[in-house]
A = this chain, B = another copy of it.
Amino acid sequence: MCRWLAYSGSPIILEELLYKPDHSLIDQSLHARLGVETTNGDGFGVGWYGADTDAPAVFRSIEPAWNDRNLREVAGHVASPLFLAHIRASTGTAVQQTNCHPFRYGRWLWVHNGLVRDFPRVKRELALAVDGSLYTSIEGSTDSELLFYLALTLGLEEDPPGAVERMVGLVEDVGRRHGTEHPIQMTIATTDGKSVWAFRYSSEGKSRSLYYSSDVRTLRELHPDLPRLQEVSDETRIIVSEPLGDLPGAWNEAPESSYGVVREGED
């Protein structure tokens, strides 16, 4: 199990979201409420976009997020209009930087919570399905990174929802041929630095939790007394494995087997 967060909106200092909310992502590294495990201490990562159109920065570490000083420093001094953060609880693969999310390819980032069931049984066949030109960019040993490269192979850069759908179909097909009833369990966020796509799906129809923040205009009407809401742009959205804080009306559960996209204009 893991926990992740995606932010898109007015540029903010990362720690505003990663540390300051009551039930922040960093707090979830020790005290997750909605996951299979309460502890997510097998490394973390954050990927952020700057003001320009270059590739995102990725900072990943194998140490638990809760006491990592470098994460605190970076989060306290970097502002970004779009970032993904992830805290990891390994389901068996090694605790190493190349297994920490987000994974990056060119301008794209990818975070995943969940697993490919019976991964050792299907790993080779899934790896073979990755395009030859992409294969050597795989650096780690996780199912999560392999899902990213399968999605890239299947057209992520042109059609994210279609590519993820095809990726899921492939994993389910391969898994079932190998005798696995429910091959995939996932929430995923991916972004090219402009839009964020979030997915919630599982073969068994009981997916890991996923929430997205309410429209800022609605929230302002609900909470006219909160000054921070006045400062935030209308476009600001947060997608999370589990809600931050307890603001009534702020969080909505993503439906089963659904996806959403956050971008300028309508979501």
Contacts and interface: CB of A to CB of B under 8 A. Distances in A.
B58 A73 contact: yes
Interface of A: 30, 37-39, 41-42, 48, 50, 57-64, 66-67, 69-70, 73-74, 76-78, 90, 93-98, 120-121, 123-124, 127-128, 132, 135-136, 138-141
A74 B57 CA distance: 7
Counting from the closest, the 6 A-B pairs by CB-CB distance are A57-B77, A96-B96, A120-B136, A124-B135, A41-B41, A57-B73
A70 B77 contact: no
B64 A64 contact: yes
Contacts of A50: 77
A73 B58 CA distance: 6
Contact of A94 (B57, B73, B121, B139): B139
A94 B141 CA distance: 12
18 contacts: A39-B41, A42-B64, A50-B77, A57-B74, A58-B73, A60-B69, A60-B70, A62-B63, A64-B64, A74-B74, A78-B78, A93-B139, A94-B98, A96-B98, A124-B136, A127-B127, A138-B141, A139-B141
A25 to B, nearest CB: 16
A122 to B, nearest CB: 9
Contacts of A38: 38-39
Contacts of A48: 77
A69 to B, nearest CB: 7
Contacts of A64: 41-42, 64
Nearest to A68: B95
Given A124-B132, A136-B124, A42 B57 contact: no
B141 A123 contact: no
A63 B73 CA distance: 17
Contact of A67 (B42, B69, B138): B42
A50, A61, A96 — most chain B CB neighbours (10 Å): A96
A126 to B, nearest CB: 11
B67 A90 contact: yes
Nearest to A135: B124
B94 A94 contact: no
A70 B78 contact: no
Contacts of A69: 60, 94, 97
A57 B60 CA distance: 17
A128 B124 CA distance: 8
A193 B40 CA distance: 37
A41 to B, nearest CB: 5
